[in-house]
C-alpha cells in the first residue's frame, strides 16, 4: 500500500516542474530562488498552486496514461451486450476498472517506486530528475501498448523524423497515440464479446417470429439465456483474464 501511495504522490507532483518553470517570477508570492550549488527552491505559494493544478489534471492522467481506458470501455460494451441496462451499475464498473488498472500497472508502479522514490527521499535525486525518471517508466508502458502506425501518424503530423529509441519520443506524441490505440483495441475486444450474445438475440427473435409471438420483446426473452450462458462459461473470469492478458 505504501508503494501505491508513493506512486499516487508522484502522479500528483508530475506537472510541478513544468508549472514551476513557466510561473512568473516577478510576483512575490510565486518566487523561485536558486542557491549557490544550483539547487532551486520554490515558495510555499508556488507549491500550493502546483499541487492544486496537479489535482485538477490528475483524473486525466489516470484516464490517459494507464490501462483504465481500455478496461472501462470493454466493461461498458460487455454490459450493453448482456442487455442488463444499468446492471452492474456505473460505480461497480468504475471500481472494477480501477482495481484492474492497479493490477496491470503494478509492475510499472514498482519500477517507479524503486527507481524514483528511494533516491528522492534519500536526497540522491532532485525533483525534476525524479519526475523525468518516473515519467520515462510510464512512457515505456504506453509505448509497449501503442500501435506503431499510431505513433508514426502523430509523429508525421508533428513533423518529427525517426526516433533512435523510445526515450526520444516526446510525451505530446506518445499520449494521443496511446489513447487512439487504446480506443481501437477496446472496440476490437468489445466486438468479439458482442458476437455470441448477438447470435442468441438472433436465434430468439427467429423462434418468436416463427411461433407468431411478435408482441413479445426478443430482448426480454433472450436476457435469461444470455445470463445463463455467461454464468456457465464463467464469463467474468474469462473476460477479466483475457483483458489483462492483452497488455504487454
Q: Report whether 240 contacts 97 (CB < 8 A).
A: no
Instruction: Answer yes or no: is pLDDT of 204 > 60.
Output: yes
Q: Measured between alpha carbons, how far is 112 from 133 in angstroms, rounded to an integer?
A: 8
Instruction: Answer yes or no: is pLDDT of 201 > 80.
Output: yes
Q: What is the pTM of this model?
A: 0.72
> 76: buried, middle or exposed (CB in 10 Å: 19+, 13-18, 0-12)?
middle
| 3-state per-residue secondary structure call for 213-239 | CCCCCHHHHHHHHHHHHHHHCCHHHHH
Q: Please tell me the least confidently modeled range out of 76-80, 97-101, 186-190, 213-217.
A: 213-217
- Any idea which residue has 505513433 for its cell? 151
Mean pLDDT of the chain: 76
Select the more confidently predicted residue: 228 or 37: 228
Q: What is the pLDDT of residue 19?
A: 44
Nearest Cα neighbor of 62 from 116, 12, 123, 24 is 12
Kindly report, residue by residue over 34-85, the tens digit of the pLDDT: 555 555 555 556 567 666 776 777 777 777 788 888 999 999 988 888 888 7
> 75: buried, middle or exposed (CB in 10 Å: 19+, 13-18, 0-12)?
buried
Q: What is the pLDDT of residue 12?
A: 46
Instruction: Answer yes or no: is pLDDT of 22 > 70.
Output: no
What percentage of the chain exceeds 70 in pLDDT? 75
Verify cis geometry, omega within 30 degrees of 0, for the bond prior to 194.
Answer: no
Select the more confidently predicted residue: 198 or 45: 198
Q: Measured between alpha carbons, how far is 165 from 19 in angstroms, rounded to an integer?
A: 27
Kindly report, residue by residue over 136-190, the tens digit of the pLDDT: 778 888 888 888 888 888 888 877 767 777 777 888 888 888 889 989 999 999 8
Q: What is the pLDDT of residue 30?
A: 46
Q: What is the pLDDT of residue 21?
A: 43
Q: Report whether 121 contacts 5 (CB < 8 A).
A: no
Select the more confidently predicted residue: 15 or 68: 68
Q: What is the pLDDT of residue 32?
A: 52
- Secondary structure element (H or E) that encloses residue 204, with its range: helix 171-210
Q: What is the pLDDT of residue 187?
A: 92
For helices 44-65 and 68-82, give the axis angle rounded to 10 degrees.
50
Q: Measured between alpha carbons, how far is 158 from 155 in angstroms, rounded to an integer?
A: 5
Domain ranges within the chain, ordered by starting residue: 2-245
Q: Measured between alpha carbons, how far is 72 from 94 in angstroms, rounded to an integer?
A: 7
Q: Report whether 138 contacts 108 (CB < 8 A).
A: yes
Amino acid at each position: 500500500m505504501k508503494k501505491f501511495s508513493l506512486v499516487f504522490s508522484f502522479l500528483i507532483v508530475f506537472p510541478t516542474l513544468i508549472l514551476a518553470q513557466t510561473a512568473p517570477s516577478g510576483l512575490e508570492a510565486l518566487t523561485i530562488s536558486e542557491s549557490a550549488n544550483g539547487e532551486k527552491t520554490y515558495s510555499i505559494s508556488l507549491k500550493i498552486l502546483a499541487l492544486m493544478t496537479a489535482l485538477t489534471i490528475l483524473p486525466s492522467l489516470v484516464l490517459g496514461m494507464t490501462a483504465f481506458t481500455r478496461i472501462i470501455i470493454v466493461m461498458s460494451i460487455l454490459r450493453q451486450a448482456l442487455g442488463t441496462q444499468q446492471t452492474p451499475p456505473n460505480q461497480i464498473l468504475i471500481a472494477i476498472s480501477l482495481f484492474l488498472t492497479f493490477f496491470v500497472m503494478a509492475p510499472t508502479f514498482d519500477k517507479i517506486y524503486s527507481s524514483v522514490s528511494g533516491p528522492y527521499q534519500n536526497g540522491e535525486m532532485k525533483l525534476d530528475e525524479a519526475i523525468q525518471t518516473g515519467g520515462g517508466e510510464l512512457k515505456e508502458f504506453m509505448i509497449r501498448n501503442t500501435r506503431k502506425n499510431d505513433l508514426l501518424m502523430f509523429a508525421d503530423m508533428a513533423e518529427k523524423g525517426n526516433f533512435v529509441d523510445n526515450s526520444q519520443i516526446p510525451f505530446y506524441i506518445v499520449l494521443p497515440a496511446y489513447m487512439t490505440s487504446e480506443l481501437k483495441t477496446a472496440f476490437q475486444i468489445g466486438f468479439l464479446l458482442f458476437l455470441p450474445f448477438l447470435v442468441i438475440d438472433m436465434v430468439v427473435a427467429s423462434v418468436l417470429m416463427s411461433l407468431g409471438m411478435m408482441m413479445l420483446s426478443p430482448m426480454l426473452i433472450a436476457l435469461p439465456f444470455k445470463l445463463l450462458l455467461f454464468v456457465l462459461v464463467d464469463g467474468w473470469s474469462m473476460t477479466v483474464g483475457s483483458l489483462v492478458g492483452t497488455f504487454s
